[in-house]
Structure 1
């Protein structure tokens, strides 16, 4: 069996920080598609004339797209093939707006971890995910609790 690229519970000590390699530039098309697919009629995301009259002067990227992108950017290095389930999100914030054309990069920190009481083959890890734009400004952060697989007992090398 090929080892998944995500990390097992044992590989996620408290305090570990992972800089995620993949970045993503958010386009106008991304924002319009996501906003309409999720049935969000907020004109700040869809109506250029409306948005021009706001304090921002232009349309902003839907914050739910920003949050989804933040978590998605973390998958390859953290949870791909090793996640059992997402357990919840908390402390979500968007300190700066994201605009069309912004390029987002992310980092994640392990803030807590514990053995699962009901599943001896798994543990619970809380990540703090942080997204930054191309200027290094923090644009989103959240805490995510995840049920993570432990390393298989007879681990094979890849």
Structure 2
């Protein structure tokens, strides 16, 4: 499904995204390496074994990016101009390699752009949940969206 145009969104509309993803240790190590994050809690199994978690935590920015990415196909694929920001981001439960993440999105606000005619701002609330239906990340994302052509 292609992304939706600004006018096709309605406040309160909910999406339960079909695509899910099981995260791996390699995802964690590669993302941490690519972002120059040397935190032992993400990349050092021996160190992580001594923490309260007993194993490496998935990098939270990977989790946030994955959750937003899993929402794209149903919402903004090909119709977004730019992400304007994320706010009120929280990580209530840890994510570990082997967890399967799914996403639910709700449209929280809409407004026409004041400075860019033919475009509008959609505020999405994305919630990432693990295989136990525990919320592992929640964020509000403002996206600048295309209006319908013509």
SS at match of 2:84: strand
Shift of the alpha carbon at 1:90?
A: 0.5
Are 2:34 and 1:37 aligned? yes
**Runs of 5+ unmatched residues, structure 1:** 154-158
Q: Deviations over 1:14-43 (max 9, x none)?
A: 001111111100011111100111100100
Q: Quick check: which has more Rg, 1 or 2?
A: 1
1:3-152 map, 5 Å = 5-152=2-149
Give the structure-1-normalised TM-score: 0.93
- What's the RMSD between the two structures over aligned residues? 0.9
Cα distance in 2 for partners of 1:120, 1:37 equals: 37
Give the structure-2-normalised TM-score: 0.98
SS at match of 1:130: strand
Cα distance in 2 for partners of 1:130, 1:21 equals: 14
Cα distance in 2 for partners of 1:58, 1:87 equals: 34
Q: Deviations over 1:27-73 (max 9, x none)?
A: 11111100111100100001111111111111110001000101100
**Runs of 5+ unmatched residues, structure 2:** none
Q: How many positions carry a matched residue from both structures?
A: 150
Cα distance in 2 for partners of 1:114, 1:38 equals: 34
